[in-house]
Amino acid sequence: MDMAGSANVMNADYVAAMGEAVSRLEQDQLTGVIITSAKKTFFAGGDLKTLIQITPDNAVEALESVEEIKAQLRRLEKLGKPVVAAINGAALGGGLEIALACHHRVVLDDDTIKLGLPEVTLGLLPGSGGVTRLVRMLGIQAALPLLTQGTQLRPQRALQAKIVDALASSREDLIAQARAWIAINPGPVQPWDVPGHHVPDFKVGESELYPFLAAAPAFLHKKTRGVFPAPEKILAAAVEGAHVDFDTALKIEGRYFVELAAGQVSKNMITAFWFQLNEINARGSSSRNKVTKLGVLGAGMMGAGIAEVSAKAGISVVLKDVSLEAASRGARDLPGITPTDSDTDLAGCDLIIEAVFENRELKNKVLPAAESAALPDAVIASNTSTLPITGLASAVSDPEKFIGLHFFSPVPKMQLVEIIRGEKTSEETLTRALDYVRQIGKTPIVVNDSRGFYTSRTFGTYVTEAITMLAEGVHPALIENVARKAGMAVGPLAVSDEVTLTLQLKIREQTLADDPSSAGLAEHPAFGVLQQLVDLGRTGKSGGAGFYEYPADGKKFLWPELVTRFTRDEAGVSEQDVHDRLLFIQSLETVRCLDENVLTSVGDANIGSIFGFGFAPWSGGTLQFVNSTGLAAFVERADYLADTYGERFRPSSSLRDRAARGEQY
């Protein structure tokens, strides 16, 4: 397989070429067939530029195209001659589906190779036979996790999972093994084409799997909360397909695939997780600056996390704190990290990242001392989550070398880094920051300076709106449950506990001190609630109590007294209004960030919202949520929320103008 371009893709050219190849194979006198790739990858999967164009209006045509692809693979596996997949590179999605249609699969034993059916991560299901074949190969119970989670396996794990049949030590061995298998298997038949075959763990009418199948939808709904249709359709295609013959199962699978492809959720997820994420990850320079020695100031949770991911990327790390004991606790004996309490050990650092408490005076103290010890051209960065970078840059001798590198907690797990340009940050400094973020395997977004930047500022509206509703008398369980039902990663009250209630109050105090126009914060009802809880000693999870109780021997639960203190039967806020207030407020703040040039890219907004603060992934991000709602409908609903709950929901003139022009973000 050697299609035009850098990868083999399942598009119209593929359909024509595969159709021609299969017809020729059916006519030729041959011993067997080996399918391999001339590219670095085996096969890249479906053409998403084509798939995102599927709508209910052209669904019939799309289904015909899908059926043609499956018919070709069906003819291939019924050729009457052995067909072997010699997998020399990544086989994801359509690539693995081609391999599953072969009688035997050999893969190069190379840990850079991944195999799997990750369509679910883009709101789709494997529509070229992947669901049907995997269920018949492995059984429903073994296939479903791979299908509904989009698991990608290295060759060794793929062999253990029985997705492939053998490993090869080299490209030469790959082809040699394929030829050897063909030589001793002249007339193989797929298991599902043997009369009497049934799915390994399922037999209609007498299956022990029925209790599992009865519980599976509820179990799945607990994870998807009903906002991700793809896992549910995968379950339906797998189970319904198991009840019928193979070819009918293929038809069931194809119809569910087109239904998903024509829906809005897949378009949202493809836009964000494919097109925009790839665009963001492609940013950067050709110079590929490498950080060789990193100094991290502050060995708390954030500093220790930054040190850990950097050391794992091969960077020599010096972790500094006020005492050697504190620095050593943060270093945790991890290789590549040197704990210290002395600035002199920062000599030779080409990057310094400050990760001390959110206190300007403290940051102004540690930054110049570290700068003087590091290399003269070292980049100096702050991990501040809210304080403007331009102001912090005044603490160093050369503000052009100063930049914000905002990590998210826990650092080893969170993929995003928000890079903040100060007013004087140079392009060279930005480029070096981008290269460092890639060096440690994270995804960067780039924003301009502002209090709270993009992520903290927008995420703050989510938390504040929730606490405001609590103050209005809305039941706390309704707030938390609606947030999760909407697809948010964590309920707003739970996440308030995670970041601590005291930190939110400190941020408010710093904002009031720095910005006279923020005087309204002093009387904001949300901060009144926070102050009440803190006065009661309920400072958050780390303090053992906040909006939630944290029993030592059980799961956390909402503090019952929240209801008696705040909840009122006559609050009058519907579930739909709770839902929309939580989501709309974040999208409206994102639009303001775009209007103010804090954000300069729609992709940064969407990926930053999902990866940074857990905005509903099904929506494709804060701006894609506006797009999928429809700008005119979004403006109308936002006006209702503004009229009912306050001017913070009033759409900006830019949003109104864009809606009037019929445009999207």
Domain definitions of the chain by residue range? 12-262, 293-448, 456-597+599-660
Model pTM score: 0.92
pLDDT number for residue 286: 58
At residue 392 the predicted structure's pLDDT band, cuts being 50, 70 and 90, is very high
| CATH homologous superfamily for the domain 293-448 | NAD(P)-binding Rossmann-like Domain (3.40.50.720)
pLDDT (tens digit, 9 = 90+) per residue, 134-159?
999 999 999 999 999 999 999 999 99
pLDDT number for residue 285: 61
pLDDT number for residue 203: 85
CATH number for the domain whose boundaries are 12-262: 3.90.226.10
pLDDT of 232 over the 90 cut: yes
Task: Say if CB 233 and CB 266 are below 8 A apart.
Answer: no
pLDDT number for residue 520: 65
pLDDT of 413 over the 90 cut: yes
Catalytic choice (26, 67, 68, 119): 119
Residue 575: CB atoms within 10 A of its CB come to: 12
pLDDT number for residue 522: 67
% residues pLDDT > 90 (the chain): 87
pLDDT number for residue 46: 87
Q: Residue range 243-254: average pLDDT?
A: 96
Catalytic choice (20, 64, 68, 97): 97
Q: Residue range 22-43: average pLDDT?
A: 95
pLDDT of 36 over the 80 cut: yes
Strand partners, 380: 352, 402
Q: Residue range 381-391: average pLDDT?
A: 92
pLDDT of 644 over the 70 cut: yes
Q: Residue range 392-404: average pLDDT?
A: 96
Tokens of 623: 């701006």
**Distant-in-sequence, close-in-space partners of 616: CB < 8 Å, separation ≥ 6:** 227, 486, 487, 488, 583, 610, 625
pLDDT number for residue 204: 84
Active site residue 97: yes
pLDDT of 449 over the 80 cut: yes
pLDDT number for residue 423: 96
pLDDT number for residue 566: 96
Q: Residue range 355-361: average pLDDT?
A: 87
pLDDT (tens digit, 9 = 90+) per residue, 569-582?
989 999 999 999 99
pLDDT number for residue 45: 86
pLDDT number for residue 386: 85
- Tokens 């890079």 correspond to what residue? 419
Q: Residue range 316-328: average pLDDT?
A: 97
Task: Say if CB 620 and CB 269 are below 8 A apart.
Answer: yes
Q: How far apart are CA 74 and CA 132, in angstroms?
A: 12
Q: How far apart are CA 37 and CA 653, in angstroms?
A: 53
Task: Say if CB 256 and CB 125 are below 8 A apart.
Answer: yes
- Give the CA distances from residue 654 to residues 74, 203, 557, in Å, rounded to whole numbers and listed in that order: 53, 59, 42
Q: Residue range 5-16: average pLDDT?
A: 93
pLDDT number for residue 206: 76
Task: Say if CB 499 and CB 452 are below 8 A apart.
Answer: no
Active site residue 647: no
Q: Residue range 73-98: average pLDDT?
A: 97
Q: How far apart are CA 258 and CA 332, in angstroms?
A: 51
Tokens of 186: 């002249």
Mean pLDDT computed over every residue of the chain:
94
pLDDT of 533 over the 90 cut: yes
Q: Residue range 358-375: average pLDDT?
A: 92
pLDDT (tens digit, 9 = 90+) per residue, 484-524?
999 998 999 999 999 899 988 988 887 887 776 766 676 78
pLDDT number for residue 543: 94
pLDDT number for residue 408: 94
CATH code matching the domain that covers 456-597+599-660, chosen among 2.40.30.170, 3.30.750.210, 1.10.1040.50, 3.30.360.10: 1.10.1040.50
% residues pLDDT > 70 (the chain): 98
pLDDT number for residue 248: 97
pLDDT number for residue 113: 97
Q: Which of 286-290, 355-359, 422-426 has the highest mean pLDDT?
A: 422-426
Among 258, 194, 262, residue whose Cα is nearest residue 66: 258
pLDDT number for residue 192: 96
